[in-house]
Structure 1
Amino acid sequence: MRICDLPHPDPGVPDVRTGGRFLVWLCRKQRGGHAKALFWGLVHMAAMASFPLPVGLAVQAAVDGHGARLVLAGGLLAVLGGLVAVGDIMLHRAAVTNWIVTVARMQQLLARKTSELGGAMTRRVAAGEIVAVSTGDLEHIGWFVETLSRFGAALVASVGVCLALVVYQPQLGLVVALGTPLLALAVLPLLPPATRRADAQREKAGRATELASDTVAGLRVLRGIGGEDLFLGRYRSASQEVRRAAVRSARMWSLISAVQVALPGLLLIAVVWHGVGLALDGRITVGELVTIYGAVSFLLYPLRHFEEMTMSWSFSRPAAERTARVLALSRPAGGRLTDPEPPSGDLHDPVSGLTARAGRLTAVVCGDPDAAGRLAERLGGHPPHQDPDPESTGAAPATPAATGPDSGEAESPRPLSVVLGGTPLDDVPRGTARTAVLVQDKDPVLLSGTLGELLDVPASGRVTNEAALDAAQCGDVLAALAQASADDSGDPMHTHITERGRSLSGGQRQRLALARSLVADPEVLVLDEPTSAVDAHTEARVADGLREIRAGRTTVLLTSSPLLLDRADHVVFLQEGKVAGEAPHRELLHTHPEYRAVVAREPDPAPATPHTTDRTVIEETA
């Protein structure tokens, strides 16, 4: 594939069972590019390896005073020089094309995986690891793919030169043929410690990147509490650890480079010393000695490719493992049903026992915020702790013969799926499931762009932008954006919003994200703490607007706010991930002490687990 043909029409289904299998899959997808690079690499290497022959011929012709042979040697040198230049140019083009095409394929795979998982991706993989995979790891894998064809050409050329030397001058040829493999393998004992140091460096760099991204995302909060210096000190310490790890890694690779230079130099000295003795004895001519010296000198060039190959392999192997782990994350992409119409009806979660009635506003109270996040993930069709499915990993699906009762191995149970209107979300195509159920995370992301672009989302058309903004109480946000409009028109829809909405307060970001979700107008809308950063007066108006605009639609609120709970049609209380009570808000307050303790921040009269006790202390302290 050529660079001008990117992006790939279909990046394919990768084999992500292991990092090694993933690398093999990438190389197989780039077979044509590797064959082209290998061909031009052989042209380049063969021409360079042939240079000593006309050089030796020219030296011997000068010694013998043979003009015709000297002209012939000059012509051969000119032809070989042209082949070296053409082969080097085309090899570089083919190898870099392999690099770019492979990286583009992985970028498309990661983009597809991000689209598939949505907000659940950052719950399963740390943000720092995602950043490391999408930047440095892709470059390391691309480097390995680019180096592979050049290494293959260098290996073939080295074997060919050694065999030619054995035929041309058996005594010196055997010394070279035996010494070259030993030189190539001499660095193998140094590779494990070098790899460990490189892994430690990448791990520390990932932690520093995650710390930096978290600090930038929470910069407004840090400034408010005066914590900038604290986090700056933490990042400075983390960056110094990365620097020290990088220096330790560079020292080991410098040692490997020194070995790759010193040992071939010793071989060259030994060959020349022995060859001079043979020439003085008259057993070989001066031209033959020059030819052998040139051939041995050429072998130093492929050995540098061997060193580069070992470095790229040591860097790409852990990078491929991390990339494979990210690409192995999956949710059911759509199974047995092909009905394009999204299902409708009651929403039921079999794990917790929660049922949200169709067309009603259901509020869910969880004593544990993490449990609320897991519930929101399940309601969006992302079963937690799910093994990668065979289709996404490239693995063959298990057959009854392999997992049946006669095999002695129990088939792994299928994760419980949320059911909408009697239809499991796992059984409908992913796009259809997302049309039916929309989940707004606790910390929604606002992409950079104008307000009009932010609200330009796939929607039913029933809710206008103005109605959604009004229901989300975004009047003050619109006024602020109107003053900052880029075209002086005063139209807030044309105002640019910075990345992640960092120019807005937390409450303003929440309300704009809520308006975006309301514009989409899905059959089922799941909101995880949509007003946690909003003041009480605005929160009450948001609750009334939400109830009005979502009339007749199924809405699930994960919250502990009394203002939102009081306006819900039905309230469900979860304890330890299971339904512990359900009734209207005021009734639960009077009949359920544990519910009242969570909502009213009262001490729990029941014996508390250590986790609950820690949470109560934190809330009371706050």
Structure 2
Amino acid sequence: MHLRDLPHTDPGVPDVRTGGTFLRWLCRQQLGGQLKALFWGLVNLGAIASFPLPVGLAVQAVVDRGGGRLGVAAGLIVVLGALIALGSTMLHRAAVTNWIGTVARMQQLLARKTTELGPAMTRRMAAGEIAAVSTGDLEKIGWFVEALSRFGASVVTVVGVSVALVFYQPQLGVLVVLGVPVLALAVLPLLPPATRRADMQRDKAGRATELASDTVAGLRVLRGIGGEELFLRRYRSASQEVREAAVRSARMWSLISAVQVALPGLLLIAVVWYGTRLALDGSVTVGQLVTVYSAVAFLLFPLQNFEEFAQAYSFARPSAKRTARVLAQSRPAGGRTTGHEAPPTGDLHDPVSGLTAPAGRLTAVVCGDPDAAGRLAERLGG
């Protein structure tokens, strides 16, 4: 897919049973773009991962005073540098195309659903929730789809580098192979609480958005009854709850980032310490030690993509759930009446709240909770 092909001729029929099925459907729609991004990601990361080899050859050539091998190493560095530049450029292009294509598809789906339901959509869902989906959730889902291919390339590269180190220098390679899974899995116990805190933050932000939207929509009525201060206090309280939830979520993600930096640093220290002892014993050459050290230092980069993917998924999962809930709305069958049918008459009664609106009289209802007002209107209006 190219950007010039947007908007999509047909955005398709989404699978909106759950947020997870909706995410999988979106990824399938971008399968070609995902494979392209995966390929260029492998080219980019593979070239970067191969860089320690010519660097180690160059160091060993200097130690051995081998001019020919130094020239070969320099040539390899130039070739790998060109591959890194090409792979990085094309990866960024493919990833951004996936992001834009996914967001454009969801925007078309939302526009189609809005056209289909019309005013019935805001009777079924709060206007603030619809606004939150169209403004913030689509971006987070696009981030997940865009990060998926880079995560796949990182997994393949990490496994490949670890296996290659075992064959290149078994003594140090085994240490790396034992340490890398620990680095990759160390943050897993922290992800569930981080996800819960992120979900809580987004829920509170969504409620604050709904409150602000409903307040603006009914501003003239609020001024007429003097309710501005009440809703202002409610929004201030909701805003503070969002801030507190965001701080709690940021603390957990900062802890995950700290773990992702500290543990690889410990692995580097272990490799240098053990490699130095082997070099002093003559078991490894200086060039081999430099190569292994550079390879371990490189692994920090793809491991950061692991964290980004986990964060993108934690943000995209509730966003996909909300988006799927909006797209799952449908117009009730037989909801329209013909001109030959008599209009409904009689009092309106809500058994839940006990409200009765007599026929032929104007009844005004004031609710402190906009969500409760929306549910009441939905029950009364059918």
In structure 2, the residue matched to 1:290 is: 290
In 2 relative to 1, CA 310–322 (structure 1 residues): closer, same or farther, beyond 3 Å? same
State whether residues 14 and 25 of structure 2, in contact with CA within 8 Å, keep that contact through their aligned partners in structure 1: yes
Correspondence 1:524-603 to 2 at 5 A: 598-599=359-360
Asked if structure 2 preserves the Cα contact closer than 8 Å seen for 1:198 and 1:315, the reply is yes
Please say if residues 271 and 293 of structure 1, whose CA atoms lie closer than 8 Å, have aligned partners that are also in contact.
yes
2:190 aligned with 1:190:
yes
2:347 corresponds, among 341, 362, 367, to 367
Q: Is the 8 A contact 1:99 1:142 kept in 2?
A: yes
Task: Give the structure with higher Rg (CA).
Answer: 1
Greater percentage in strand: 1
Alignment map for 1:141-152 (pairs within 5 Å): 141-152=141-152
Q: What is the match of residue 316 of structure 1?
A: 316
Q: How many angstroms apart in 2 are the aligned matches of 1:363 and 1:168? A: 84
Distance (Å, rounded) in 1 between the aligned partners of 2:361 and 2:13: 50
Q: Is the 8 A contact 2:348 2:359 kept in 1?
A: no
Give the deviation of 1:86 after TM superposition. 1.0
* Distance in 1 separating the partners of 2:273 and 2:196: 40
Change (3 A) 1:370 1:97: farther
User: Structure 1: 5+ residue runs without aligned partners?
Assistant: 335-346, 350-354, 372-575, 577-593, 602-614, 616-622
Equivalent pair of 2:128/2:212 in contact (CA under 8 Å): no
Per the alignment, residue 2 of structure 1 pairs with 2
* Identical-residue share of aligned pairs (%): 73
Counterpart position of 2:259: 259
Structure 1 Cα separation of the partners of residues 185 and 145 of structure 2: 21
1:206 has 2:206 as partner: yes
**Residue 93 of structure 2 is aligned to residue 93 of structure 1:** yes
Inter-partner Cα distance in structure 2 for 1:10 and 1:145: 19
SS at match of 2:283: coil
Q: Give yes or no for the alignment of 1:38 onto 2:28.
A: no
CA distance 1:348–1:53, change in 2 (3 Å): closer
Is 1:357–2:337 an aligned residue pair?
A: no
1:47-106 residue CA offsets vs partner (Å, 9 max, x unmatched): 000010010001111111111111111111111111111110110010010000001001
**Contact residue 166 and residue 172 of structure 2 kept, 8 A:** yes
**Which residue of structure 2 aligns with residue 136 of structure 1?**
136
- The structure-2 alpha-carbon separation of the partners of 1:348 and 1:239, relative to structure 1 and needing over 3 Å to count, comes to closer
Tell me how far 1:208 sits from its aligned partner.
0.7
1:139-538 paired onto structure 2 within 5 Å: 139-331=139-331, 357=340, 362-368=342-348
Shift of 1:308: 0.3
Q: CA deviation at 1:323?
A: 1.2
* Deviation, structure 1 residue 141: 0.7
Measured in 2, the distance between the counterparts of 1:348 and 1:255 equals: 55
Task: Name the amino acid aligned to 2:14.
Answer: P
Q: Counterparts of 2:106 and 2:219 in 1: how far apart (Å)?
A: 32
Residue 83 of structure 2 corresponds to which residue in structure 1?
83
> Deviation digits for residues 559-618 of structure 1, max 9, x if unmatched?
xxxxxxxxxxxxxxxxx9xxxxxxxxxxxxxxxxx99x63369xxxxxxxxxxxxx9xxx
Report how many aligned residue pairs link the two structures.
361
Structure 1 residues 346-385: Cα deviation after superposition (integer angstroms, max 9, x where no partner): x996xxxxx8527xxx5433422779xxxxxxxxxxxxxx
Higher RCO (C-alpha 8 Å, min separation 6): 2
How far 1:238 sits from its partner (Å)? Answer: 1.0
Per the alignment, do residues 152 and 348 of structure 1 end up closer, same or farther by CA in structure 2, a change over 3 Å counting?
A: closer
Question: Cα distance 1:101–1:348, how it changes in 2: closer, same or farther (>3 A)?
Answer: closer
Distance 1:14 1:184, change over 3 A: same
Q: Which stretch of structure 1 is more off in the superposition, 230-239 or 48-57?
A: 230-239
Is the 2:128–2:214 contact (alpha carbons within 8 Å) kept by the matching residues of 1? no
AA matched with 1:357: H
Query: d(CA) in 2 for partners of 1:367 and 1:188?
Result: 57
Number of the residue aligned with 1:47: 47
Deviations 1:127-174 (A, max 9, x none): 222122112111111000000011111111111100100000111111
333 and 289 in structure 1: CA distance in 2 versus 1, 3 angstrom threshold: farther
Distance 1:348 1:9 in 2: 31
CA distance in 1, matches of 2:131, 2:189: 32
**Cα distance in 1 between the residues matched to 2:134 and 2:141:** 11
Q: 1:79 and 1:333 mapped to 2: Cα distance?
A: 64
Question: Matched residue of 1:598: which SS?
Answer: coil
CA distance in 1, matches of 2:345, 2:67: 98
Distance 1:101 1:600, change over 3 A: closer
RMSD: 2.4
Question: Distance between the aligned counterparts of 1:266 and 1:54, measured in 2?
Answer: 25
SS in structure 1 at match of 2:344: strand
TM-superposed deviation, 1:332? 6.7
**Cα contact 1:348–1:356 (8 A) shared by 2:** no
Q: TM-score, normalised by structure 2?
A: 0.89
Provide closer, same or farther for how the CA distance between residues 219 and 56 of structure 1 changes in structure 2, counting only shifts above 3 A: same
Specify the alignment match of 2:367 in structure 1. Answer: none
Secondary structure of the 1:136 match is helix
**1:188 Cα deviation (Å)?**
0.6
- In structure 2, what is the equivalent of residue 453 of structure 1? none
- Partners of 2:132 and 2:62 in 1: CA distance: 59
The structure with the largest helix share of the pair is 2
Q: TM-score of the superposition, structure 1-length normalised?
A: 0.56
| One-letter identity of the residue aligned with 1:14 | P
Instruction: Quote the Cα distance in structure 2 between the aligned partners of 1:180 and 1:54.
Output: 23
Partners of 2:90 and 2:79 in 1: how far apart? Answer: 17
- List runs of 5+ in structure 2 lacking aligned partners: 363-375, 377-382
Distance in 2 separating the partners of 1:251 and 1:17: 33
- 3-state SS in 1 of match to 2:16: coil
Instruction: Report if aligned partners of 1:15, 1:25 keep a CA contact under 8 Å in 2.
Output: yes
Counterpart residue identity of residue 155, structure 1: V
